[in-house]
Structure formats: structure tokens, C-alpha cells
Amino acid sequence: MTAVDQLPEQRIVRVTFADGTHGDYPFIWLRDNCPTAWHPETHEKVQDLLRIPADIAPRDIKLRESEVEIAWDRDNHISRFALDWLADNRPGRVLADPAVVTSAVWRGDTTKADLPRADASALLSDDGALYDWLAAAKAWGLALVDGLSSDPESGMAVARRIGFLRETNFGKTFEVKSKANPNNLAYTAVALPLHTDLANQELPPGFQFLHCLANEAVGGGSVFADGFAIAADLRATDPAAFDLLSRRSVPFRFHDVDHDIRQRQTVIRLDEYGNPAEICWNAHLAGIFDMPAETLADYYAAYRALMAATRDPAYSVEFTLKAGEMVVFDNRRVLHGRAAFDPTTGFRYLHGCYVDRGEFDSRMRVLARARRTNGH
Ligand code: OGA
Ligand code: ZN
């Protein structure tokens, strides 16, 4: 049976729900989260916390059929909380988020056929198909789109359907082909060992989109590896190396005539629970390691251990992109690379862009909202 009790010593209201579970709500938290605290149209919080007396307490609490009504002692305000809202927002529980997807960590036994894949026209026209593909792309950190036209904008249109493109010093979109006067190794025909892009940026871009328009040259196969798998195995086999790579930052730098973009990064960034959240790996952009001499030997050993893992076929998946396909990957988790190609044997052309992680998450939440309303 639903019940509501006041625990004055702890300054909390305890709500026991019909299923027998309960939530404990501090007085100040309840008053701060009164539904009237938000602007009804913009949904932004407009109530000023400092106008609420810190020692506020309920004068009266009533349990109604589907809500709890609290009359407050110090400011005579009345707050009404829906029981469902109280159940969903119990302090101590992380709020449910439709953009949170458990990572499916993968290794070198994965094949192209295993990867999440969707048809471009389905992604553009069907919200359900888009949500499912986004969730899978987030879980794997790597997914494919097929059925794209030979219009270089067709892949970018799928990216734009998710969110704003992340502009960088290489433009809003970029053309990956062998060019004269390249300012990036990607714009040559050389092999690119596994890396993440733009480690030199304050915030390296989230998801990367590479639409293949032509791949007719000899060579040019794509390679991917799950940085979370590499990090997890390194933590298990060489915890000291893992520790150094997650605690010590190194400088990354890109510079050309117009730019000099530098940022220090840890190669492995941990979340607040100590789990790898991000991998920053780009040997071409790594600057000069500047830690004290006595740490450098250990750091080199750790850095080389991770580098060796990026060369180990136990982690890498290799396949050739076909014209009309687009590969999409979390650039802050999944490492990518390519084999060298011979531009005299045929044309190779990818059109790329980035969409940050936050855009992905926002689109997933909005699509999930529509799904709930439609009763799915
Ligand atoms: C890039 C890149 C891979 C490729 O443009 O950042 O890594 O297959 N390209 O050319
Ligand atoms: Zn790259």
C-alpha cells in the first residue's frame, strides 16, 4: 500500500510505493524540485534556490490517489508531486536515460557481417529504424549504412538527420582522397595505422562518418579496433601501464599555416566510476612527452604496450568499404585505420564528417520519447 511518512530528525519524507519499495526525499530537495520551479513552456528552472529557507519543512502532507501534496511551513507554498514522478526520481538512483546503452565490446573475431547495419533510406524516413540503428551503433561503437547514392552529400544527409555536424579545421565535411599539398596523412595514399582523429582538439569529435564513393585502387582496406577491448585487456594484464596511461597526460598537436591546435590528453580517460570512457590515440599527432625523466621509461613501456595491442590482429577487424556504404564509429572509443593504396590503379574517395556524442544522445532521447507516446 502506498504510504507517506515524515522523518523529522533526518529531515526527509519517505514515500512507500504500492510495490513495497520506498524513496527518501530530503525536505530541501522536495521544495527545490516543486513542479512550479520550472517555466511551463521553456522547461528551464526559474525558481531561485536561495529564496527557499534552508530549514524549510512540511507543515502538512497529504497522500492523494496519484500524488503527494505538501504544504510548506516557512513560505506557505504548496507543492504537488505525482507518485510516478517520485518513483522515477528517487534520490540515490541515477535517472533512467534512453541514450545510455551498454557497450558491446568486440575483438578481432568480429566480421563485417556482424556489424549493425541499416539502409540509408530507412534511416532517413523511419524513426524506429533510426533509433534501433543508433542504439546498436552506440553499443558497438561501429556500424554501417548502405544504399547511399553517388551524391557526396547523401552520407552527410544521414549524419545531419542525427544532429549538427561538428566543424573542425578540416571543414564541416572533408574529402579523403590522395591530394596535392596534403595537410593530413589521410589525404595521401599511405597506410594509416589505427588511430583516433583529432586527439589534438580540446574535445576530439565524437562519431565519425566516412561515406565511400569510390574504392577502386589496389589496397585501401579499412581497419577498426575497439579501444574499450584493448583498454580492458591492458588493465587485466598490465595494471601499472593502464594506470599510467589513464593518469598521465601527454601533449597532442596539429599545425599548418593557419592553425596550431594543441591539447594535453590522457590516452585512456576514465569516467567517475573508473571505467574507460574514451581513448585518445594518435601517434602522428602525439607531441613531445614532457613528464619527468624518472617517469618516462615507465611511460614509454606503457605507451608501447598499448601500441603493440593496436597492431595485434586479436583486436582488429579488416574489410573493404564499397561505394554506397558508409562506416560510422565512435572516434573517442573505436580506433580506425587503412591500408596503403596505389592511386595509379584506381580512384579512392571517402567523404567524411563528425557528429558529437551529445547529438547522438539527444536524437536517441527524442526518438525514445516519440516511441513511448506511440505506445511501443
Ligand atoms: C581519416 C582516416 C581512413 C581512410 O580520414 O581520418 O583515417 O580509410 N581515413 O582513408
Ligand atoms: Zn582518421
- Distance (angstroms) between ligand 2 centre and the Cα of 177 equals 12
The domain ranges of the chain are 3-88, 112-368
Q: What is the mean pLDDT of the chain?
A: 96
**Exposed/middle/buried for residue 234 (C-beta within 10 Å: 0-12, 13-18, 19+):** buried
Considering every ligand atom shown, identify the ligand nearest to the alpha carbon of residue 191 and give its number. Answer: 1
Copy the grid coordinates of residue 201: 582538439
Quick one: fold of 3-88?
A: NE0471 N-terminal domain-like (3.30.2020)
Q: Please tell me the predicted confidence (pLDDT) of residue 376.
A: 53
Minimal CA–CA distance to 341: which of 232, 226, 185?
Answer: 185
- Distance (angstroms) between ligand 2 centre and the Cα of 210 equals 10
Residue from 310, 350, 353 whose mutation best tests the ligand 1 pocket (most atoms within 8 A of CB): 350
- Distance (angstroms) between ligand 1 centre and the Cα of 218 equals 16
pLDDT reading at 320 higher than 80: yes
- Distance (angstroms) between ligand 2 centre and the Cα of 224 equals 11
Can you tell me the mean pLDDT for 31-48? 97
Predicted confidence band of residue 106 (pLDDT cuts 50, 70, 90): very high
Q: Please tell me the predicted confidence (pLDDT) of residue 375.
A: 56
Quick one: fold of 112-368?
A: Double-stranded beta-helix (3.60.130)
What percentage of residues in the chain have a pLDDT greater than 90? Answer: 95
Ligand 1 atom with minimal separation from the 174 CA: 5
Helices marked H in the chain — which ranges?
27-32, 83-88, 120-125, 127-140, 154-162, 227-237, 239-247, 293-310, 357-373
Question: Helix 357-373 vs helix 127-140: angle between axes, to the nearest 10 degrees?
Answer: 140
Q: Please tell me the predicted confidence (pLDDT) of residue 373.
A: 74
Ligand 1 site: residues with CB under 6 angstroms?
176, 186, 192, 197, 222, 336, 338, 350, 352
State pLDDT tens for residues 126-160.
999 999 999 999 999 999 999 999 999 999 999 99
Ligand 1 atom with minimal separation from the 350 CA: 10
Question: Helix 293-310 vs helix 239-247: angle between axes, to the nearest 10 degrees?
Answer: 110
Considering every ligand atom shown, identify the ligand nearest to the alpha carbon of residue 196 and give its number. Answer: 2
Predicted confidence band of residue 372 (pLDDT cuts 50, 70, 90): confident
Residue from 173, 194, 210 whose mutation best tests the ligand 1 pocket (most atoms within 8 A of CB): 210
Say if 3-88 and 112-368 have the same CATH topology.
no
| Dist CA 280 CA 286 (whole Å) | 10
